[in-house]
Amino acid sequence: MNETLKVLETRRSCRKFKPDMVKKEELDAIIKAGTYAATGMGKQSPIIIAVTGKELRDAVSEENRKIGGWDEGFDPFYGAPAILIVLADKSVPTHVYDGSLVMGNLMNAAESLGVASIWIHRAKEEFESEFGKNLLSKLGISGDYEGIGHCALGYAAEPPKDAAPRKENYVYYAE
């Protein structure tokens, strides 16, 4: 089987990460792959915020936990040491789709390099909050962005589970 198809078929979401930071060259390659996702009309509406510092990572995790309504101490990023936050420019009609493709590229690139990942939601709510607006301001990011998702990255602490069987009638052929 072709390596790309193998990655697409074997990638699984990781819910238990080792604390080791992703190697810089791997992180850079994953981010670069995200920037090559297809975007509507080539507008490149998304941006990626790479969070690798523990203090900011933990602050983002805490905000996400509060939005999700979990008990104090729960980490919605499952211990992943790196978080790639994808946002997209709301003025572009395809921004949600564009950002979603970036998320897919990030996760598949990570898998191809032996880095585990999971898509964590609530970025929309995060960046509608004062927390998110303040973070963008501190980073010097201006514009009207919608949070699309968090790509939590790290090395898996346990082997991935097998894929669930594909549902019946997943595909319909029309001629």
Sheet holding 46-51: strands in order across? 46-51, 82-89, 145-154, 116-120
Q: What is the pLDDT of residues 4-41, one digit of tens each?
A: 999 999 999 999 999 999 999 999 999 999 999 999 99
Number of alpha carbons in the 13 Å side-chain half-sphere of residue 30: 32
Inter-residue contact 141 to 85 (CB < 8 Å):
no
> What three-state secondary structure class fits 159?
coil
Number of alpha carbons in the 13 Å side-chain half-sphere of residue 60: 33
pLDDT of residue 40: 98
Which pLDDT tens digit goes with each residue over 113-141?
Answer: 999 999 999 999 999 999 999 999 999 99
* Residue 131 to residue 15: CA distance in whole angstroms: 25
Question: What are residue 31's phi and psi, to 5 degrees?
Answer: -60, -45
User: Do you know the residue count of the chain?
Assistant: 175
Average pLDDT, the chain: 97
Three-class SS state of 150: strand
Q: What is the pLDDT of residue 82?
A: 98
pLDDT tens-digit readout, 91-103: 999 999 999 999 9
Place domain 3-154 in its CATH homologous superfamily: NADH Oxidase (3.40.109.10)
Q: How confident is the model at residue 171 (pLDDT cuts 50, 70, 90)?
A: very high
Q: What is the mean pLDDT of residues 59-76?
A: 98
In the predicted structure, residue 1 carries a pLDDT above the cut 90: no
User: So where are the chain's domains?
Assistant: 3-154
Q: What is the pLDDT of residue 157?
A: 97
